[in-house]
């Protein structure tokens, strides 16, 4: 490899590794994700079914963890949310419960966005007040 290109390649690889590591810092842990989602599922009307025997534990392990899935039973939609790590349970709900869950999720996200905006506005106001008076005009 060319002596000039070698530092560039190494630098690029280091940058990729650093970026990948930084991204992993912002990922939510499975337990934190479950703690955030499960109260919303309960409030929406999903029923929590604990895995209290080997057959149920096997069924939970066969479902994708912390992902909403659906199927039909007798022509009715049924939604599943498996949590094998935090509660070792499955949340089950119908179409109405799922729609309520989506509404709660959107309301929660909007509230979090509004809270972040308020914090940014407050920080900007504090910073503006700390500037000398000739910057206020």
Percent above pLDDT 90 for the chain: 50
Number of domains in the chain: 1
Contacts of 27 (CB under 8 A, 6+ apart): none
Q: Burial level of 92, CB count in 10 A (0-12/13-18/19+)? A: middle
**Closest residue by Cα to residue 101 from 29, 30, 47:** 47
pLDDT score for 32: 92
Task: Decide if 1 is inside a domain.
Answer: no
**Which range of residues forms the domain containing residue 90?**
28-128
Task: Decide if 46 is inside a domain.
Answer: yes
Task: Decide if 101 is inside a domain.
Answer: yes
User: 21-25 long-range CB contacts below 8 Å, 24 or more apart?
Assistant: none
Task: Decide if 45 is inside a domain.
Answer: yes
What tokens does 65 get? 């963890």
Say how far apart CA 21 and CA 15 lie, in whole Å.
Answer: 10
Mean pLDDT by 10 residues, the chain (137 residues): 53 56 66 94 96 90 92 91 93 96 95 87 74 60
Task: Decide if 66 is inside a domain.
Answer: yes
Task: Decide if 17 is inside a domain.
Answer: no
Q: How many CA atoms lie within 13 A of 115 on its CB side?
A: 6
pLDDT score for 101: 97
pLDDT score for 80: 93
Task: Decide if 21 is inside a domain.
Answer: no
Question: Do 38 and 31 contact (CB within 8 A), yes or no?
Answer: no
- Crossing angle of helices 95-129 and 30-44, in 10° steps, is 120
> Could you please report the per-residue DSSP string of 48-98?
EEE--SHHHHHHHHHSPBT-EEEEEETTEEEEEEEETTTT-EEEEEEHHHH
pLDDT score for 104: 96
């Amino acid at each position: 490899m060319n002596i000039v290109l070698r530092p560039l390649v190494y630098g690029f690889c280091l940058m990729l590794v650093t970026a990948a590591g930084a991204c992993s810092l912002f990922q939510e842990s499975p337990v934190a994700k479950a703690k955030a989602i499960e109260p919303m599922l309960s409030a929406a009307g999903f029923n929590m079914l604990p895995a209290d025997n080997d057959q149920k534990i096997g069924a939970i392990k066969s479902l994708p963890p912390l992902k909403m899935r659906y199927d039909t039973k007798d022509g009715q939609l049924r939604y599943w949310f498996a949590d094998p790590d935090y509660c070792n349970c499955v949340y089950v709900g119908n179409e109405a419960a799922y729609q309520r869950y989506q509404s709660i999720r959107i309301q929660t996200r909007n509230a979090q966005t509004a809270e972040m905006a308020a914090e940014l506005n407050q920080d900007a106001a504090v910073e503006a007040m700390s500037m000398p008076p000739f910057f206020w005009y």
